[in-house]
Amino acid sequence: MTDYLNVYADMALPASGAARDAALQAGAVVEVGATSLVGYRSAGHLLLIGAELDALECAARLRESLTCTIMATRAHEGELPGEAAAARADQRRVTVLYGQPASVGGHLGHFDALLETPRGEALRAADLNGDDHPWFDLVLDLRREPALQMDLPPFGYYAPAGDAEALERALAEIPEMTGEFEKPKFFNYSPDICAHGDSGLTGCTRCLDACPADAITSIGEIIEVDPYLCQGGGTCATACPTGAIIYAYPGPKDMAARVKAMLQAYREAGGERPVLLFHDEDAGADRLHAIAADLPDHVIPVRVAEIGSVGMDLWLTALAYGAAGVVLLDTRAVPPTVRAEVERQLDYARSLLDAMELGGDRLVLAPADDGFAAALQGAAGRAPVTPAGFETFNEKRGTLRLAIDHLYGQALARPQVTAMPAGSPFGQVMVDADKCTLCMACPQVCPTNALTDAGDKPQLNFTEDLCVQCGLCQTACPEDAITLESRFLFDWEQRRQPRVLNEEQPFECVSCGKPFATPSVIERMTQRLEGHHMFQSEANLRRLKMCGDCRVKDMFETEQGSGNTLM
């Protein structure tokens, strides 16, 4: 409890906000499930990449506490100045290699780098530094175009990119980055409901596209998250349409329980029209400190690890629990990748609210500079709905269903369906019956069972509530018969009711009468093979219309009649 409230202890929040204080106290007592820890160990082996003089000047300041290996991308010509010369002469603490980095990768305590020599060889730099340490613990990349350029580079990797102040901060911090460190494991992943791929095909890539740390990779039909590279940006979970990857610090269920408790305590203390202000623990908390004295009483701050870790499921749940609005406190420290994904998810959620005439302006990403007061005013401009009482679980689609259905029940407008922005995790699959042969490739790859067959009956069924618009069905279709439409069908009964997209009467074997295919499959196959030299006779074309058993029997009888032996 104390830990959660510490961030607000020295804030100059107005004393008039008694209901807000009650909400903060209620949020602090909600128990949050533990997550596992990820450990790092750094022994102080530093790799510096850049021009020889620049790297030596930095090594001169760091060599007392670190072992420095310099990958000199440009040799210094002439006499070295004093401190740089002293560092160059310190063969025990400083090693200089000449060449270009062919590759750099890893994380705190485990960086690897390949050195491309002038002769074109690619050598492991750690093998050349004269000690037995197989990795580098830290990297200081002094080039203006560093090797790693993701929004959130790995822990232990510093790239000032020509910024003198950033370089000074790095030189001050690097000596402290030795020893053992721990951080939370920020995610949980369930491959069973992942829509990334199937049967060698690629479907959803939302988490890979949204990760600011490049911590997620595709490994065939599923993804893999490197816990050492993951820094808790959270947009993988926010972007995931199925809930296969969820934020674990805290989990969605715990976060929703905290929001529910805070809003209930706020109302019981006499508060009205509450607006939840989500902020991160670092730059967001600092910004909140700066504006705390002017924070309206109805605004309740909610601390999260990163604003990208809370998404559409929690925003809409907060509105269903009685929040008048939700504000996400942006800062300049928020990575562009995170901000872009948050804005994308806001577009989806606002589309739903606008369709119900509940006001998409209830959801606001407060600008990183001016405009915060206007953002708060917009979020608080509408009355909250009657609070819901439902409980949530760590199941994203179920939470969204509960929240949207509650809001729809109190909506000013109740449309049957609304169009959604492209990329939305809601929508329908449409099938061109003239092209579809009911080959059933699409239900075989559907990760959520939104598409299903009907057993022995040639029928393709679709349940819209289960569709996440991953596109696997569209990719798998050999006839290009499938298109996707982003939309939301509000009626729960219609959403969960399977509907027939295409069906045919079974095609019966022309020999024995057993159903074994569909007329469109036989027609398409006949059309494609009629020009083939092996299907120029009526007998061979007729054989295409036989079931497997009759086809073999007919071939055997034909061979026997011709006097040949069927091998």
Residue 155 domain-assigned? yes
Do 331 and 479 share a structural domain? no
Regarding whether 381 and 442 lie in a shared domain, the answer is no
- Indicate whether 64 and 102 sit together in one domain: yes
Specify if 420 maps to a domain. no
* Residue 422 near residue 358, CB atoms below 8 Å: no
∠ CA 524-525-529 to the nearest 5 degrees?
Answer: 120
Q: Where are the beta strands (DSSP E) in 316-404?
A: 325-329, 363-366
- Residue 421 resides in a domain: no
User: Is 147 in a helix, a strand, or coil?
Assistant: coil
Please check whether residues 350 and 368 belong to one and the same domain.
yes
Q: What CATH number is given to the structural domain containing 99?
A: 3.50.50.60
Residue 254 lies in a domain: yes
pLDDT of residue 2: 52
Are 266 and 405 contained in the same domain? yes
For 181-221, the DSSP string reads EEEE--EEE-GGG--SEETTEE---HHHHH-TT--EEEETT
Residue that terminates a domain, selected from 152, 182, 212: 182
Q: Check residue 567 and give its pLDDT.
A: 39
Residues 254, 243 share a domain: no
If one counts the domains in the chain, the total is 5
pLDDT digits (tens, 9 = 90+) for 357-411: 999 999 999 987 777 888 877 777 789 999 999 999 999 999 999 999 999 999 9
In a domain, 566, yes or no: no
Q: Which domain holds residue 474?
A: 427-503
Domain boundary among 353, 387, 415: 415
Residue 566 pLDDT: 43
Peptide bond connecting 250 to the previous residue in cis, omega within 30 degrees of 0: yes
Q: Does residue 567 sit within a domain?
A: no
Does residue 477 sit in the same domain as residue 519?
no
Return the bridge partners of 247, or none: 187
Residue in the block written with tokens 């449309």: 415
Q: What is the CATH number of the domain that holds 481?
A: 3.30.70.3270
Q: Are residues 49 and 120 in the same domain?
A: yes
Residue 436: strand, helix, or coil = coil
Instruction: Write out the chain's pLDDT in tens, 567 residues.
Output: 456 777 787 787 877 789 999 999 999 999 998 899 999 999 999 999 999 999 999 999 999 999 999 999 999 999 999 999 999 999 999 999 999 999 999 999 999 999 998 788 899 999 998 778 899 999 999 999 999 999 999 999 999 999 999 999 999 999 999 999 999 999 999 999 999 999 999 999 999 999 999 999 999 999 999 999 999 999 999 999 999 999 998 999 999 999 999 999 999 999 999 999 999 999 999 999 888 888 899 999 999 999 999 999 999 999 999 999 999 999 999 999 999 999 999 999 999 999 999 999 999 999 877 778 888 777 777 899 999 999 999 999 999 999 999 999 999 999 999 999 999 999 999 999 999 989 999 999 999 999 999 887 889 999 999 999 999 999 999 999 999 999 999 999 999 999 999 998 888 888 888 887 778 887 877 877 777 767 777 888 788 888 888 988 888 887 776 655 443
Q: Are residue 73 and residue 154 in the same domain, yes or no?
A: yes
Q: Are residues 110 and 48 in the same domain?
A: yes
- Give the largest CA-CA distance in the chain: 104
Co-location of 195 and 215 in the same domain? yes
pLDDT for position 487: 98
| Cβ burial 283-300 (10 Å sphere, 16+ → b, else e) | bbbebbeebeeebbbbbb
**Contact between residue 507 and residue 522 where contact means Cβ atoms under 8 Å apart:** yes
Query: Has residue 495 been placed in a domain?
Result: yes
Structural domain includes residue 317: yes
| End residue of a domain, out of 387, 415, 443 | 415
519 shares a domain with 494? no
Q: How far apart, in whole angstroms, are the C-alpha atoms of residue 173 and residue 150?
A: 20
Could you read off the pLDDT of 46-93 as tens digits, one per residue? Answer: 999 999 999 999 999 999 999 999 999 999 999 999 999 999 999 999
CATH number (domain holding residue 238)? 3.30.70.20
The 10s digit of each residue's pLDDT in 220-251 is 999 999 999 999 999 999 999 999 999 998 99
The pTM of the full predicted model, rounded to 2 decimals, is 0.88
